Amino acid sequence: MLFRVDTWREGWLSLRRAHKDRRARKHLRQLAWLVLVPFLCLAYIGWIVGQRLIFVVPVLLVIFGWKAWSHHKKEGSLSLLPPHKPLYRVLTSQEQAGFRQYFADMALIYAVMLDRAGSETYLRNKVLPEGVEVTTRRVHLDLLKSRGLWDRMAQCDREAMMMPDGQWNPGWIEQLLMGFEPLRLMRWILRVDFHLPVVGRQLRFDYKLANEIVRAPGKLYDGKELITVSQMETAQRAAESYYNRCIAERIFRGDAEAANEESSRIAASVANLYRNKQHEDLVLGVKLVSETSSQELEWATMVSRRRMGFFHWTMIALERGTPPEPPYKFQP
């Protein structure tokens, strides 16, 4: 957590809101404690060494080991109660390996497409020195072919990747940006990223998210774990909270159309309930939902809806036990 760039970016956002939001102050206290713990551990070790109490360490290890063993034995003890039925289907090792392979392949396709979009944006806005050769297209094609993904991609995506460098349409590039959200979620599902902030703290997309995978695709394939369905459900509920709040605010402002009169009444009630409530309303960046611009609000609504839909589809696929078959299509 300490070495994540997002940890410090989120800390900066909380610092900017700390004077008017108790939630931001709580987050800063948690961050300060997170920073302090390693130093406390080092100070304790230094004290033990200074007092020549090294013999205490083996005793502590024995105590913690005995506690862990006792806890494991207790969990495995006989019980007259019926076994607890899991809420979600537990994947077999073979099924989990299959889903890991699928998500890793899809994440690599998304990373390559988005990295190419970043290169196209750069070429469109910058004038390259004379004699400089752009090799982005060739590098991406070689990577996809080396991983056996080229023949499993959708035809339309292959045609886009075959276009010469600098020839992508600006409208197509802008449309691709929504693909950052599935890439971010797949990185989390594959445990490349061990923390997934809420939508309000992840409204901006960075091309480094994709370029990092292109440079080191092994990050997607080296692990063995998948995020649990329970954790996905928690993340989906958080995204749903943001979506409901944002869509209510958009309807109240007249930026979105309500399905019926009842929906319009509920949206107005929610918007009025949280208006200017610095300690209660959801936050987008450093502003409350009620304070943000219509454009930012629309973007947050799209991102939260995309996150909800992705987790909904993923949980259905995991429950079914089989990942989709090729061709794999990039879907922003």
DSSP assignment string, 113-150: HHHHHHHHHHHHH-PPPTTPPP-HHHHHHHHHHHTT-G
Number of domains in the chain: 3
Pair 48, 118 in one domain: no
Pair 188, 293 in one domain: no
Q: Which residues of 194-232 are buried (b: 16+ CB within 10 A; e: fewer)?
A: eebbbbbbbeebebebbbbbbeebebbeeeeebbebeeb
Question: What is the predicted pLDDT for the residue at 148?
Answer: 95
Name the more confident of 10 and 186.
186
pLDDT at 31 over 70: yes
- pLDDT above 90 coverage of the chain, percent: 62
- 47-61, 70-84, 292-306: range with lowest mean pLDDT: 70-84
pTM for the structure as a whole: 0.83
Mean pLDDT across 89-107: 93
**Neighbouring C-beta atoms of residue 242, cutoff 10 Å:** 23
**Neighbouring C-beta atoms of residue 4, cutoff 10 Å:** 13
Residue 146 lies in a domain: yes
Answer yes or no: are the C-beta atoms of 199 and 303 closer than 8 Å.
Answer: yes
Question: What is the predicted pLDDT for the residue at 158?
Answer: 95
If you average pLDDT over every residue of the chain, what do you get?
Answer: 87
298 pLDDT band, cuts 50/70/90, is very high
Residue 112 lies in a domain: yes
pLDDT at 286 over 90: yes
Nearest alpha carbon to residue 142 among 161, 127, 157, 117: 161
Pair 115, 158 in one domain: yes
Name the more confident of 37 and 128.
37
pLDDT in tens, 62-92: 776 776 666 555 444 444 455 555 567 788 9
Residue 272 tokens read as 């009025």
Pair 242, 181 in one domain: no
Pair 115, 19 in one domain: no
Mean pLDDT across 122-130: 75
Alpha carbon 309 to its chain centroid, in Å, reads 14
256 pLDDT band, cuts 50/70/90, is very high
Question: What is the predicted pLDDT for the residue at 79?
Answer: 44
End-to-end CA distance of the chain: 29
The helix/strand/coil state of 153 is strand
Q: What is the extent of the structural domain holding 117?
A: 93-221
pLDDT at 312 over 60: yes
Mean pLDDT across 302-327: 94
Pair 315, 257 in one domain: yes
Answer yes or no: are the C-beta atoms of 274 and 281 closer than 8 Å.
Answer: yes
Answer yes or no: are the C-beta atoms of 112 and 143 closer than 8 Å.
Answer: yes
The helix/strand/coil state of 37 is helix
**Is the CA virtual torsion 14, 287, 308, 209 positive or negative?**
negative
Pair 271, 315 in one domain: yes
Pair 148, 247 in one domain: no
Answer yes or no: are the C-beta atoms of 289 and 297 closer than 8 Å.
Answer: yes
Task: Give the residue from 188, 221, 254 where a domain finishes.
Answer: 221
Task: Give the residue from 221, 245, 264 where a domain finishes.
Answer: 221
Residue 56 lies in a domain: yes
pLDDT at 138 over 70: yes
Pair 197, 235 in one domain: no
Question: What is the predicted pLDDT for the residue at 276?
Answer: 87
Residue 87 lies in a domain: no
Nearest alpha carbon to residue 113 among 86, 149, 59, 79: 149
Residue 85 lies in a domain: no
Pair 211, 315 in one domain: no
Pair 276, 202 in one domain: no
Residue 79 lies in a domain: no
Mean pLDDT across 205-228: 92
Task: Give the residue from 200, 221, 242 where a domain finishes.
Answer: 221
- 77-86, 98-107, 213-222: range with lowest mean pLDDT: 77-86
Pair 316, 203 in one domain: no
Residue 326 lies in a domain: no
What burial class does residue 96 get, using C-beta atoms within 10 Å of its C-beta: 0-12 exposed, 13-18 middle, 19+ buried?
middle
Name the more confident of 42 and 26.
26
Residue 299 lies in a domain: yes
Helices (H) and strands (E) in the chain, counts: 13, 2
- 1-5, 16-20, 30-34, 157-161: range with lowest mean pLDDT: 1-5
CA distance 47 to 275: 52
